[in-house]
Amino acid sequence: MDTRPTARIDVEPIPASVYELIREDIISGKLGPNERLKIADLAARYGTSTNPIREALQQLRGEDFVVMEPNRGARVRPIDENFVRDIIEIAALIEPALTRWFVSIATEADIKQLETIQAEIEELNFADPALHGQLDTRFHEVLYDRHYNRHAADLWWRHREVLRAISRRFPTSLSRRVAVLREHHELIDAIRAQDADRAAEVISGHVEGSGRHIIEHMRLAQNAARKAQT
């Protein structure tokens, strides 16, 4: 189970159901791109008071699902190919740097923890997408959680949550499953060998592969939607 503290997103804990319902409606398109998010309307829609809605919107803003502009209120950020591409490009810059630093401080206990999580991932074998996502996040948290640059680590976390929420809409292809497992093993081997350059290279490819997989599925879904309309 993910035990990361709520403080990562700088808001107080909120009723999970309200936040999750709004987020799911954004991801699914029930709340459309650039749609205005009026607090009173959302409170009526989800059957709650206005305070949980305000808090949920702040959390969603921190995760880049919602945009807030002065004198214009909140609106839905479009969840499209460009949005995912931008996140992936940022991740491809941040994660190799975080990984290089981790290699310099990694211990035998760290490597053992990575191997234990990887064994759980392989035992699960993608049978439960939600649990796989949690395990995969734990794997990467071992690499990034102790980094001194908290802004970079927190940015990684926020973007990770966005991509994990989006990817739940799509199945993981067999080729991507094979690549994920292989890349994790290559990363562990590079860390054990204290090869920071190789570890950063593996992570860079891992991030880019994940991004391509999501974008390809988004394109397939868009094409299917267009065909259904004709």
Does the structure show a pLDDT above 70 at 14? no
Residue 207 burial (10 A CB sphere; 0-12, 13-18, 19+):
buried
Residue 219 burial (10 A CB sphere; 0-12, 13-18, 19+):
exposed
CA 98 remoteness from chain centre: 16
Of residues 230 and 130, more confidently modeled? 130
CATH number listed for the domain at residues 81-229: 1.20.120.530
- pLDDT score, position 161: 80
Strand partners, 76: 66
Token reading at 81: 């190919």
Rounded to whole angstroms, the Cα distance separating 28 from 22 reads: 10
Provide the whole-model pTM: 0.78
- Domain extents in the chain: 6-76, 81-229
35: nearest Cα among 93, 68, 74: 74
Where does the pLDDT of residue 3 fall: very low under 50, low under 70, confident under 90, or very high at 90 and above? very low
- pLDDT score, position 16: 57
Q: Are strands 66-69 and 36-37 parallel, antiparallel or unpaired?
A: unpaired
Per residue in 107-166, pLDDT (tens digit) is 999 999 999 999 999 999 999 988 999 999 999 999 999 999 999 998 898 888 888 878
Cβ–Cβ < 8 Å for 204, 220? no
- pLDDT score, position 166: 84
Cβ–Cβ < 8 Å for 18, 52? yes
Please tell me which of 26-30, 152-156, 193-197 the model is most confident about, judged by mean pLDDT: 193-197
Q: Which fold has domain 6-76?
A: Arc Repressor Mutant, subunit A (1.10.10)
Please tell me which of 3-12, 161-170, 198-207 the model is most confident about, judged by mean pLDDT: 198-207
Mean pLDDT of the chain: 89
The average pLDDT across 184-203 equals 98
Does the structure show a pLDDT above 90 at 201? yes
Cβ–Cβ < 8 Å for 62, 10? yes
Per residue in 69-120, pLDDT (tens digit) is 887 889 998 888 888 999 999 999 999 999 999 999 999 999 999 999 999 9
- pLDDT score, position 182: 98
